[in-house]
A and B are shown apart, each in its own frame.
Chain A
Amino acid sequence: MGSDVRQAVAALLDTDPTTAFAQLVAGGWTAVGLAEDLGGSGGDLRDAADVAAACAASGHRLPVADLLFVTARVLTLAGIPLPAGAVCVVAAGDRVPWASWATHFLSVIDNRVDLIEHAVVEPGTNLAGEPRDTVHLTGPVLASSPVDNVVDEIRTAGALARAVQLAAAIERVLAITVRYCAEREQFGRPIAAFQAVQQELAALAGESTAATAAVDHAIQNPTRHTVAVAKIRTGMAAGTAARLAHQVHGAIGITREYPLHRHTTALWSWRDEYGGEREWSAVLAADVIGHDPAWHGLAPA
């Protein structure tokens, strides 16, 4: 079902972002992976990842990955249904993603989740221009439920969301760069014909392949370990991919007019959200190093 979902969503995204988001909500695409008895559309994590990947690849600024991975995860753990028609975001900590788009909020205090309808939102953005807001919740509380380790759960779900987005955006950056190399001519031939450029393109392809492999593995078998691997590897790939793509493009790539920046500014933001390589490396190292040899923590028998 994987690529079918991605194609169906990509077709809905071929318009302006506001219309695209309205179409996605109306079609139930922003609640894929959430059980139907919680107000979701059903489907599994692979389907949710395909929807989020299609959105990331489109270059539109949309809250879909956060809704599919973070909101859905918290609602599922709390057993709280999604209010009909709601855009519900998790408001834990500062720099809350997409609060200015939300109709409802999930707040976290100790190990309790509250569904809240109103908040005062001070807008902010990340490098890509996506809302990262300050939220003052004002109530009322519509539902409440205890959830163990909810802060870690949110961090992990968010990291997986960003990893999915990063891999999809890197794939798109590769496609844009390959096309440019075939079209752009210098010294009388396409720059793709130059070995120096080929080396950079192949390195970019390698980062894309690695990022996708790490994410696919995490989606198939989502654990804190595999999510850590995916977030670290996509975060590493993000910086390298952005650097290589801009270098190959030359000056056109750093203009507002050319589409590359829509993706590279996202790469530079997403890699640090829900924990960057350093935070997740510490998680992964702690998970593995207790084993002797460490290999046994990487490949359990």
Chain B
Amino acid sequence: MDQEQALRAEIRAFLATQDFTPHCDSWMSSHSPEFSRALGRRGWIGMTWPQRYGGAARTERERLVLVEELLAAGAPVAAHWFADRQIGPALLKHGTETQRAAYLPAITRGECFFAIGMSEPDSGSDLASVRTRAVPTGDGWRISGTKVWTSHAHRAHHLLALVRTSTGDTRHDGLSQLIVDLTAPGVQVRPIRSLDGDAHFAEVILDDVDVGPDALLGTEGRGWAQVTAELAYERSGPERFLSTAPLLWALARRTADPRLGGLFAELQTLRALATRVADALQRGEAPAIEAALVKDLGTRFESRVVDLARDLVPTEPDQHAGDDLARLLAEATLHGPDATLRGGTNEILRGIVARSLVA
């Protein structure tokens, strides 16, 4: 506990030396390779990974402290976010020694950014229906298909793509994960402008892209199980309840209304839940149901921050306002719809939870 508090203080001291404007949803909207490299120099990317791969061998609880502090500060963490959150753990679990050596140290330095290629134009919630195909070439794979809503693909170096490599007994068989160099011939990345005017995600067109045998992550045909385990990391973190935190702090500077206590209670509860998930990850588990619940509860809490802000301090939202509250209210409002969609819609997540209860 003392060690975690010391780390918290250390991170706050570091953040105080950094020059950035706090943003809501900064893990999605604020992309700064410089900031990521600065974090990398402190050992704060891949901090739970083994030291031989550039990690710091810290605990999942310590990583939780780090992630909480970065998001609470609205720091620009999007560049390394996806590699730190799920590519590293996936490589450590399923990767070959060659793959780990090729990517992990560079990720921890903030020099290698990944995007996650799951959704496709015709595959959203029904992820197992992906149609991007990879056929063996004798010397690797040739990939064709289109990925979409791929966060920061236009700023990343690599893509971890879920593709169909064979047809098995069930639709969950025959899927595989391939690592694609986004500068390879045949790759085309088109940024997609979001309703807030910025481009956070992109479309990735893979037109007969050749990758080597080393591109396969884990086992051919077992991609579904690998992706499902990855989603526990993707859904359970504090980014599912701290995306509107900078707005909450701005609000608390403007009013001492006791109703803020209700939001604080929800937030503290979500933090306790995230701690339980971190402990489960530390034990090597992939707590899929708890992760789904954190995301459902957390994203609904985020929207209540917006509701209460409007109620307590009536403000016209404005992305370009000099006033923090108006600007953060605008950011939280415009990013609101995405929160309950990305990482699996809340309705799909609730279906997963319900089926686990009745099964």
**Nearest CB in chain B: distance from A237 CB, A:** 9
Measured between C-beta atoms, what is the minimum distance from A220 to chain B in Å?
A: 9
| Residue in B259, B272, B293, B358 with the greatest tally of chain A CB atoms within 10 Å | B272
Beta-carbon contacts under 8 Å, A206-227 to B? 206, 209-210, 213-214, 216-217, 226
Verify if B351 is at the interface (C-beta below 8 Å from A).
yes
A157 at the interface (CB under 8 A from B): no
Docked Cα-Cα span, A228 to B72, in Å, equals 22
Q: How far is the CA of A214 from the CA of B272 in the complex (A)?
A: 7
Interface size of B by Cβ–Cβ distance < 8 Å?
Answer: 45
Give the dominant DSSP class at B's interface: helix
Residues of A within 8 A of B248 (CB): 294
Q: Are A214 and B265 in contact (CB under 8 A)?
A: yes
Within the complex, the shortest CB–CB distance from B324 to chain A, in Å, comes to: 11
Which B residues are CB-close (under 8 A) to A142?
Answer: none
Given A205-B354, A301-B8, do A283 and B261 touch, yes or no (CB 8 Å)? yes
Is residue A281 contacting chain B, with contact meaning CB distance below 8 A? yes
* Identity of the chain B residue whose Cβ is nearest the Cβ of A192 in the assembled complex: B358
In the docked arrangement, what's the CA distance between A209 and B356, Å?
A: 14
Tell me if A250 is interfacial: C-beta within 8 Å of chain B. no
B269–A202 CB distance below 8 A: no
Interface size class of A (residues with CB under 8 A): 35 or more
A236 contacts across to B, CB distance below 8 A: 262, 265-266
CA distance A293 to B22 in the complex (A): 12
Please tell me if the beta carbons of B258 and A217 are within 8 angstroms of each other in the complex.
no
Contacting pair B272 A293 (CB below 8 A): no
A285 close to B (CB within 8 Å): yes
Evaluate contact between B264 and A199: CB separation under 8 angstroms: no
- Is B193 interfacial (CB-CB < 8 Å)? no
Do most interface residues of chain A lie in helix, strand or loop, or is the interface mixed? helix
Q: Does B268 contact A (CB under 8 A)?
A: yes
Instruction: Evaluate contact between B5 and A206: CB separation under 8 angstroms.
Output: no
Residues of B within 8 A of A206 (CB): 293, 296-297, 353
A236–B270 alpha-carbon span in the complex (Å): 14
* Residue among A202, A217, A233, A286 with max Cβ neighbours from chain B (10 Å): A202
A8 within 8 A of B: no
Given A205-B354, A284-B265, A285-B257, A295-B72 contact (CB < 8 Å): yes
* Cross-interface CB contact of A281 among B260, B353, B354, cutoff 8 Å: B260
Q: Check A202/B353 contact, CB under 8 A, given A213-B273, A233-B269, A289-B252.
A: yes
Q: Please state if B260 and A201 are interface contacts (CB–CB under 8 Å).
A: no
> B12 touching A280 by the CB < 8 A rule?
no
Across the interface, B290 reaches (CB within 8 A) one of A209, A281, A292, A293, namely A209
A12 at the interface (CB under 8 A from B): no
Q: Mark A256-294, 1 if CB is under 8 A from B, else 0.
A: 000000000000000000000110111111101100111
Contacts of B245 in A (CB 8 A): 295
C-beta contact mask, B52-69 vs A, less than 8 Å → 1, else 0? 000000000000000011
Residue of chain B at shortest CB distance from A296: B12
The residue on A at minimum CB distance from B1 is A221
Most buried by B among A181, A280, A288: A288
Task: Tell me the bound Cα distance from A293 to B328 in angstroms.
Answer: 15
Question: How close is A204's CB to chain B, nearest CB, in angstroms?
Answer: 9
Given contacts A205-B293, A288-B260, A293-B72, contact A199 B269 (CB under 8 A): no
Given A198-B350, A280-B265, 7 other A-B residues pairs in contact with their CB atoms under 8 A:
A178-B357, A198-B355, A202-B357, A206-B353, A233-B268, A281-B258, A286-B258
Q: Which residues of A contact B (CB under 8 A)?
A: 174, 178, 181-182, 190, 192, 195, 197-199, 201-203, 205-206, 209-210, 213-214, 216-217, 226, 228-229, 232-233, 236, 277-278, 280-286, 288-289, 292-295, 298-301
16 CB < 8 A contacts A-B:
A198-B350, A198-B351, A198-B355, A205-B353, A210-B266, A213-B272, A229-B264, A232-B265, A233-B268, A281-B258, A281-B259, A281-B261, A282-B258, A293-B249, A299-B271, A301-B6
